[in-house]
Amino acid sequence: MLKSIHSGVLAGCILGAMTMSASEVPTIVKSAAGGQLIVNGKPFLILGGELGNSSAGTAAQADSVLPRIAQMHVNTVLMPVAWEQIEPVEGKFDFSIQDHWIDVAREQHLHLMFLWFGSWKNGFSNYVPSWLKQDTKRFPRAVSADGYELEILSTLGTETLKCDAQAFSVLMRHLREKDRDQQTVLMVQVENEVGYLGRGRDRSAAANRLFASPVPPELIHKLQNARNSFSPELRAHFKSTGTTWPEVFGDAADEVFMAWNYARFIQTVAEGGKQAYPLPMYVNCQLPAPAERAGEYPSGGPHPYYLEVYRVTAPALDFYSPDIYWPNFEYWIDRYKFSGNAVFVPEARLESAPYNAFYAYGEAGAFGFSPFGIESLQLSPNANGSGPGINDVYAALSSMSDMLLSAQASGSTRGLVLHSNSPRTAQTVALGDYLFEATLSRSWPTKTLLTEDGAMIVVQTNPNEFYIAGSGLSVSFFRDPDTDNKLCGIANIEEVSRSGGEWLTVRRLNGDQTNQGRQLSMSPHEVHIYRVVLYATGRTPRIE
């Protein structure tokens, strides 16, 4: 049923798209190492920032917001596009706000990403036009367990789907006309943090009827075939021999049912949008907090537990993204580092972004990272307390971006984050033939902590040469015993910077700055790039 709506509504957009080859537009290329965004034929690293929800609602805001963000070494701004604003009257579209943002972004040499705040934004439906909000008959609401209509559109409203898909495809067609030559807009997020908020699932009459019917055999079959990529949670619940939702998915039935319904809806919206203009498209996820039940966090959202349901239902989506606000950043980003996904973090806490960014790009192989509320970052000296700001991290990463992108593709990067409350005081990563052991920076000789947080990214450029960017860490180097037992040490360390493509030596670090040749001692509060050359040589046999 959903398919036929889509093909009827969007036929007009298909014709235009057929004249354009997909290789001309930005695209996601996946490999065993992860995925990269290709723009104008070359890998592109997104140094992103997402705007607050009320920061892109007028054209004039572009003039004040974008020039400031352009000073932060951000290269891509994620901005909401509200359905209520582009289609205030049914069938009448107005893209003047988006057009102005694109024009200003071009002047500021910034890229944009559009966030389609359509039927759902954080589970709720407050960005839909008021003509739609008021007509609950034509656009049915989800119903709570105690029988109340919610301010959440049901995924089963055929008119809702038709209108959302129509508006999105008109947006994409407009974008194609405005932007296909310059490609200021790189990608599009479809809806925002979908999922049902309430007990488990929508209890509208239509949803109850569907839930009382057998699980579609096609869904069971597709999941069977995808068994090898199941999450532990889906593996624990899925019983292919069952018929009803509870038989097949046990106590995850409500949630999987919602995931399937959101995924079907989004597939139709995204597929229609891509026929108009095939930019990469993805969905973002509000992640569960510890001990939360489905419905306390958006039930059926694209979180890692039942993501396979999306993957088999919504092939128009290019990748899946976590919005990571919880403290265990590493755990959540790693759950999106699965075969067939390209890692991108569209939202993260601005305060911890200067550290987590290094982990995202260096360890999780992310092609992009984007703290939320980027326009609120203060650029005045020390405005971010004693630590670095994301602007400092992006300055370093943008000068390393060519070597970082090729190292990501060959799996030659690592990254780590340490906090004063981390469970371990030291962390080690292996790269090439060496181990890199990091601890937080301490004073000498009292050994008091100089910072609460530290992080680094390590990029291998030659067998013995590494570029390390970060702050707040002391790093010791060891030969990886799995390689050999050669004697290893620091050949030299330079603090470097880049100007017009050339690397310049700012300082040669030695003596106290290398703990007498034994460690890289990073600045506790400032981000720098260090070129570290190590040596390994045969050991003199021990004299017995």
Of 278 and 322, CB closest to ligand DGJ: 322
Contacts (CB under 6 A) with ligand DGJ, residues 451-490 = none
CB 395, CB 498: distance < 8 Å: no
Q: Which is nearer to ligand DGJ, 193 or 271 (CB)?
A: 193
**Are the C-beta atoms of residues 79 and 61 closer than 8 Å to each other?**
no
Site residues (CB under 6 A) for ligand DGJ, limited to 109-128: 122
Interface pick for ligand DGJ out of 179, 193, 363, 392 (rule CB under 6 A): 193
Give me the least distance between CB of 117 and ligand DGJ, in Å please.
8
Spatial neighbors of 247 by CB under 8 A, at least 6 apart, are 239
Which residue(s) pair with 348 in the sheet? 324
Number of residues that bind ligand DGJ (CB under 6 A): 7
Percent helix, strand, coil in the chain, to 5, is 35, 30, 35
Q: Starting from the edge strand earliest in sequence, which strands make up the sheet with 42-44, in order?
A: 27-31, 34-39, 42-44
Query: Is residue 323 at the binding interface for ligand DGJ, with CB under 6 A as the rule?
Result: yes
282 binds ligand DGJ per the rule CB under 6 A: no
The one among 120, 319, 320, 372 contacting ligand DGJ by CB under 6 A: 372
Q: Rounded CA gap, 218 and 350, in Å?
A: 42
Q: Which residues pair with 473 in a beta bridge?
A: 440
The pair of three-digit structure tokens given for residue 472, joined into one six-digit string: 């707040």
How far is the C-alpha of 16 from the C-alpha of 299, rounded, in Å? 37
The CA distance from 542 to 540, in Å, is 6
Nearest approach in angstroms of CB 440 to ligand DGJ is 29
Q: Distance from first CA to last CA of the chain, Å, rounded? A: 82
Comparison of 51 and 509: residue with beta carbon closer to ligand DGJ: 51
**Could you give the 3-state DSSP secondary structure of residue 286?**
strand
Q: Which long-range contacts (CB under 8 A, 24 or more apart) does 375-380 make?
A: 375/49, 375/51, 375/52, 375/55, 375/65, 375/68, 375/69, 376/52, 376/350, 377/49, 377/72, 377/350, 379/68, 379/71, 379/72
Q: 270: which 2 tokens?
A: 């995204």
- Site membership for ligand DGJ, residue 191 (CB under 6 A): no
> Which H helix or E strand runs over 165?
helix 158-179
Closest to ligand DGJ by CB, 78 or 429? 78
Per-residue contact string for residues 417-456; x = within reach of ligand DGJ by CB under 6 A? ----------------------------------------
- Return d(Cα 81, Cα 15) in angstroms, integer: 25
192/441 with CB nearer ligand DGJ: 192
Q: Please state the closest distance from residue 391 (CB atom) to ligand DGJ, in A.
A: 20
What is the number of the residue whose Cβ is closest to ligand DGJ? 193
Q: Minimum Å distance from CB 262 to ligand DGJ?
A: 15
Instruction: Quote the least distance from Cβ 371 to ligand DGJ, whole Å.
Output: 11
Minimum CB–partner distance for residue 90 and ligand DGJ (Å)? 25
State how beta strands 111-121 and 76-82 pair: parallel
CB of 263 to ligand DGJ, least distance (A): 18
Give the side-chain half-sphere CA count within 13 A for 281.
Answer: 25
Which amino acid is located at 373 in the chain? G
> Between residues 114 and 372, which has the closer beta carbon with respect to ligand DGJ?
372
Instruction: Find the shortest distance in angstroms from Cβ 335 to ligand DGJ.
Output: 18
For residue 417, the cross-strand partners are 455
> Using CB under 6 A as the criterion, what x/- string covers residues 28-67 for binding ligand DGJ?
-------------------------x--------------
Cβ proximity to ligand DGJ, 343 vs 475, nearer residue: 343
Contacting residue, 347, 375, 453, 495, with ligand DGJ by CB under 6 A: 347
Shortest distance (Å) from residue 325 CB to ligand DGJ: 7
Q: State which residue, 112 or 469, has the beta carbon closest to ligand DGJ.
A: 112
Using the minimum distance from each CB to ligand DGJ, give the nearer residue, 324 or 431: 324
Q: Residues in the site for ligand DGJ, rule: CB under 6 A?
A: 53, 122, 192-193, 323, 347, 372
